[in-house]
A and B are shown apart, each in its own frame.
Chain A
C-alpha cells in the first residue's frame, strides 16, 4: 500500500481486473491440467521431455506473474494505466 492512491481506480476498471483475474485462474487451471496430462503421457511413454515440460510450465509461470500483478492492482487500487506502467517497470521495480 501507499505507492498509489486508492481513489484512482474506477469501478469499471476494478470489474475488468476481477474478470481478467478469473480468466487467468481458469487459464491456469487448464494449463496445469494440460501439464499434468502431458506428464502422464510422457510417463506412459517411458521418458520425460523436459523441454516440452519446461515450455508448458513457463506458460503457467507467466500466467502466475500476470495474476500477481492484477491482484496487486486490485489490492492497491491501481488504475489500468498505473498497472500498465507497473507491468512495464516504470516504477523502477518492475513487475514481480
Chain B
C-alpha cells in the first residue's frame, strides 16, 4: 500500500475509533438513563472498539491488516449497533439503487412486481427524495438532534464512498457481505412501501409497461429480525420511543419514590410512637422510684422521731429519779438531825438556841427545797405532758405514715399488678414486714408512754 493510502487509512481508523468509543459511551449512557444494564451488549461494543484499536495498532506497527478493514464495515452511530454483518449494506428506508447488491436469497429481483398503488411506482424511487417529515415534529433534545445530524453525515459519507467504489455485480452478492447471516429482509413495519420491495429502478418502468406481468411464485421470506435503523427518520422514531420509555421509567420511579416516602413517613410515625411510649415508661419508672424514695424518707423520719421521743422520755425519767433521790436524802438528813442524841449538853426542856437556829434554818432550807422540788415536779409534770403530747403527735404521724405506707403499698400493688413477676411480690412482702415492724414500734411507744405516765404519777405522789 502506498504511504499516502496508509496515512489515509490510519486517519480513517482513528476517526472510526473515536466514533466507536463515543458510540459505546452513548450506549452506556442509554443504559444508565434507562437503568437497564446489559453486560453482553457492553462486551460486544467493547469488542468492536478493541477490534479497531487492534487494527490501528497493527497499522502503526507497519503490518498491513488482512481481510476487510473495519472502516469498510457499517457501524451505526446511535449506540444500538451490533456486530457488523452483510445486512448493514442494505438500508431499509428506500434509498435502494441499482448499485446495491442483490440479497443472497434472490427474493428481490427486478421481476418482482411493485404494489398496485400508484404512489409506489413514482414517488419512492432512488431518484426521489424521501417523503417529508410531518409538520409537527416532536421537540428533540440537543443530543437527539446531534445524533440525527451525525447519522445524516454518516449516510452522506457512505453514499460518497459507494459512489467512488465501482458497483458490485448485481446478480452475485459478495460472499463477505452475507457470511452465514439470516436472509436480509426489509423491516416489516417500515413506513415506506419501497422498503418492502427494494428493487432496481428499472422495475417500475417495466411494471408500467407491462402491468399484467405477474410475479413468480416465491415463498414468503421468513420473519427476519428487525434490522437496526440507519435512516435518520427511523433513528428519530427510535429515539422518540426511547424518550417515551425513559419518561415512563421516570414516572414509575417517581411513583415508587412516592410509595417509599409514604412508607418512610409511616415508619417515622411508628418510631415516634415507640419513643413516646418508652419515654412514658421511663417517666412512670421515675415516678415509682420517687414514691419509693419518699416512703423510705418518711420511714427514716419516723424512726428518728421515735428515737428522739424515747431519749427525751428517758432523760425526763432520769431527772425525776434524781430529784426523788435528792428529796429522799434530804428527808433522811432531816430525820437524822431531828433524832440526834448528844447534840447539845443543855438542860432538858431548854432548847439550845444554836441548834434551834440551825433546825430553823434547816427547816427553812427544807421548805425551800420542798418548794423548789414541788416546782420542779410541776415542771416535770408539764414536761411529761409535753412529752405525752409529742408522743401523741408522733403516734398521729406514725398513723399517717402507716396510712401513707398502706396507700403506697396499694399503689405499688396496682402498679405491679399488670407487670406481674416475683420481684413485685417480694417488694410487697418487704413492705408488709416494714408495716408490721412499724406497728410493733407504735405499740412499744405506747407502752413507753404508759410507763412514763405511771412514773409521773408516782413522782407527783412523792
A: residues with CB less than 8 A from B are 25, 28-29, 31-37, 39-40, 42-44, 48, 50, 53-54, 56-58, 60-61, 64, 67-68, 71, 96
- Dominant secondary structure at the B interface: helix
Question: Which residues in A have their C-beta under 8 angstroms from that of B29?
Answer: 32, 35, 57, 60-61
Partner of B28, one of A28, A44, A57, A96: A57
Q: State A42–B42 Cα separation when bound (angstroms).
A: 10
Partner of A36, one of B22, B37, B43, B47: B22
Question: Which residues in A have their C-beta under 8 angstroms from that of B28?
Answer: 35-36, 39, 53, 56-57
For the complex formed, measure the closest distance between the CB of A75 and the CB atoms of chain B, giving whole angstroms. Answer: 10
Q: State A54–B26 Cα separation when bound (angstroms).
A: 12
- Dominant secondary structure at the A interface: helix
Q: Which residue of A lies closest to B20 (CB)?
A: A36
For the complex formed, measure the closest distance between the CB of A61 and the CB atoms of chain B, giving whole angstroms. Answer: 7
Q: Which of A29, A32, A36, A39 has the most CB of B within 10 A?
A: A36
Question: Which residues in B have their C-beta under 8 angstroms from that of A57?
Answer: 28-29, 31-33
CB of A39 within 8 A of CB of B50, answer no
Question: Which residues in A have their C-beta under 8 angstroms from that of B53?
Answer: 40
For the complex formed, measure the closest distance between the CB of B416 and the CB atoms of chain A, giving whole angstroms. Answer: 57
CB of A61 within 8 A of CB of B22, answer no
Partner of B46, one of A28, A29, A33, A39: A39
Chain B 422-452: CB-based contact to A (< 8 A → 1; otherwise 0): 0000000000000000000000000000000
Question: Which residues in B have their C-beta under 8 angstroms from that of A36?
Answer: 20-25, 28, 45, 49
Interface check B175, CB cutoff 8 A: no
Q: Which residue of A lies closest to B46 (CB)?
A: A43
Indicate whether A64 sits within 8 Å of B141 (C-beta atoms), given known contacts A31-B25, A36-B21: yes
Indicate whether A61 sits within 8 Å of B33 (C-beta atoms), given known contacts A32-B21, A36-B22, A40-B24: yes
Question: Which residues in A have their C-beta under 8 angstroms from that of B46?
Answer: 39-40, 42-44
Question: Which residues in B have their C-beta under 8 angstroms from that of A43?
Answer: 42-43, 46-47, 50
Question: Which residues in B have their C-beta under 8 angstroms from that of A50?
Answer: 37
Partner of B143, one of A31, A33, A35, A67: A67
CB of B21 within 8 A of CB of A33, answer yes
Interface check B142, CB cutoff 8 A: yes
Beyond contacts A40-B46, A58-B32, A61-B32: 7 other A-B pairs, Cβ-Cβ < 8 A, are A33-B18, A35-B29, A36-B49, A43-B42, A43-B46, A57-B31, A60-B29
Chain B 191-221: CB-based contact to A (< 8 A → 1; otherwise 0): 0000000000000000000000000000000
Q: State A39–B22 Cα separation when bound (angstroms).
A: 11
Q: State A48–B37 Cα separation when bound (angstroms).
A: 10
Question: Which residues in A have their C-beta under 8 angstroms from that of B143?
Answer: 28, 64, 67-68
Question: Which residues in B have their C-beta under 8 angstroms from that of A44?
Answer: 46, 50
Interface check B132, CB cutoff 8 A: no
Q: State A46–B63 Cα separation when bound (angstroms).
A: 28
Chain B 227-249: CB-based contact to A (< 8 A → 1; otherwise 0): 00000000000000000000000
Question: Which residues in B have their C-beta under 8 angstroms from that of A68?
Answer: 141-143
Chain B 26-59: CB-based contact to A (< 8 A → 1; otherwise 0): 1011011100010100110111011001000000
Q: State A32–B29 Cα separation when bound (angstroms).
A: 8
Partner of B32, one of A31, A34, A53: A53
Between A and B, 27 residue pairs with Cβ closer than 8 Å are A31-B25, A32-B25, A33-B21, A36-B20, A36-B22, A39-B24, A39-B28, A39-B45, A39-B46, A40-B46, A40-B49, A42-B42, A42-B46, A43-B43, A44-B50, A50-B37, A53-B28, A57-B28, A57-B31, A57-B32, A57-B33, A58-B32, A60-B29, A61-B32, A61-B33, A67-B143, A68-B143
Q: State A56–B31 Cα separation when bound (angstroms).
A: 12
Question: Which residues in B have their C-beta under 8 angstroms from that of A48?
Answer: 37, 39, 42
For the complex formed, measure the closest distance between the CB of A38 and the CB atoms of chain B, giving whole angstroms. Answer: 8
Question: Which residues in B have their C-beta under 8 angstroms from that of A25?
Answer: 146
Q: Which residue of B lies closest to A24 (CB)?
A: B142
Q: Which residue of B lies closest to A64 (CB)?
A: B143
Q: State A54–B30 Cα separation when bound (angstroms).
A: 11
For the complex formed, measure the closest distance between the CB of B15 and the CB atoms of chain A, giving whole angstroms. Answer: 12
Question: Which residues in B have their C-beta under 8 angstroms from that of A61?
Answer: 29, 32-33
CB of B50 within 8 A of CB of A33, answer no
Question: Which residues in B have their C-beta under 8 angstroms from that of A64?
Answer: 141-143
CB of A67 within 8 A of CB of B142, answer yes
Question: Which residues in B have their C-beta under 8 angstroms from that of A39?
Answer: 24-25, 28, 42, 45-46, 49
Closest 5 pairs between A and B when the two form their complex, measured CB to CB:
A32-B25, A43-B46, A36-B21, A57-B32, A36-B24
Q: State A48–B32 Cα separation when bound (angstroms).
A: 13
Q: State A48–B20 Cα separation when bound (angstroms).
A: 18
For the complex formed, measure the closest distance between the CB of B379 and the CB atoms of chain A, giving whole angstroms. Answer: 97
Partner of B141, one of A28, A58, A96: A96
Q: State A40–B25 Cα separation when bound (angstroms).
A: 10
Question: Which residues in A have their C-beta under 8 angstroms from that of B32?
Answer: 53-54, 57-58, 61
CB of B142 within 8 A of CB of A32, answer no
Chain B 118-148: CB-based contact to A (< 8 A → 1; otherwise 0): 0000000000000000000000011100100
